Structure formats: C-alpha cells, structure tokens
C-alpha cells in the first residue's frame, strides 16, 4: 500500500509541472548542451554545443525533486563528480540569468 501511495504522489508531482515551466517545446530543435556518458558511474560531462553564455546555471535534481547539485556561471565544458550521488535517475535544468529553463534532460547513475 505504501508503494502505491508513493507512486501516486510521484506521478502527481510530475504531472503538476514540478520541473516544467510554461513554454513551447520544439522536439526537433538541436540541443544546447551535450552530456555523456549516460548511464554514468563516476562522473558526467557537460559540453555546450552552441550558444554558450557564462551566465547559465545548471541544477541537478534527484527523481524525488530534491536539489542535489547546482553550478552557477557554468564554463563551456565541465564535469560533475557523482561520488555522492546514489544510484538512480537524475534530472538537470539549464537556466539563463533570468531563471528561465533553457534546456532540461535526464541521466542515470549506476553503481
């Protein structure tokens, strides 16, 4: 019964837009940032493909929506050490200086 309530709560959080903002999503648009490897074990790399702006910030959330990592003023190429991350799915959001989500994605950590 507890698992059912947990799954129902999780689905409610996701469908309510806990990670989304009101914006149009163009599935055909090229990605601004590339991340690899996916799934990751020790580190995950992020590289800007185009349109780099030093004012961008990257935030990573676990699948429950808890912020686990944040980097402000990101460089054009950087990596994140996953030593303190648990196994599971993580969601990242790339935001501009106004706080608007420019891009988001998900990756998996396997240990």
Question: Residue 10 gets which letter from DSSP?
Answer: H
Chain segment 48-95, per-residue pLDDT in tens: 888 788 899 999 999 999 999 999 999 999 999 999 999 999 999 999
Question: Residue 12 gets which letter from DSSP?
Answer: H
Read off the pTM: 0.72
Question: Residue 9 gets which letter from DSSP?
Answer: H
Sort 21 into a burial class: Cβ within 10 Å, 0-12 / 13-18 / 19+: exposed
Count how many domains the chain has.
1
CATH of residue 36 = 2.60.40.10
Range of the domain at 93: 32-109
Flag whether 102 is in a domain: yes
């Amino acid at each position: 019964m507890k698992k059912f309530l947990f799954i129902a709560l999780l689905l409610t959080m996701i469908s309510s837009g806990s990670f989304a903002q009101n914006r149009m999503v163009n599935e055909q648009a090229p990605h601004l940032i590339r991340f690899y490897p996916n799934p990751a074990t020790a580190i995950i790399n992020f590289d800007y493909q185009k349109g780099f702006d030093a004012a961008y910030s990257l935030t990573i959330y676990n699948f429950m929506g808890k912020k686990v990592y944040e980097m402000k003023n990101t460089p054009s190429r950087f990596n994140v050490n996953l030593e303190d991350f648990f196994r599971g799915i993580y969601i990242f959001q790339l935001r501009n200086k106004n706080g608007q989500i420019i891009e988001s994605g998900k990756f998996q950590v396997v240990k």
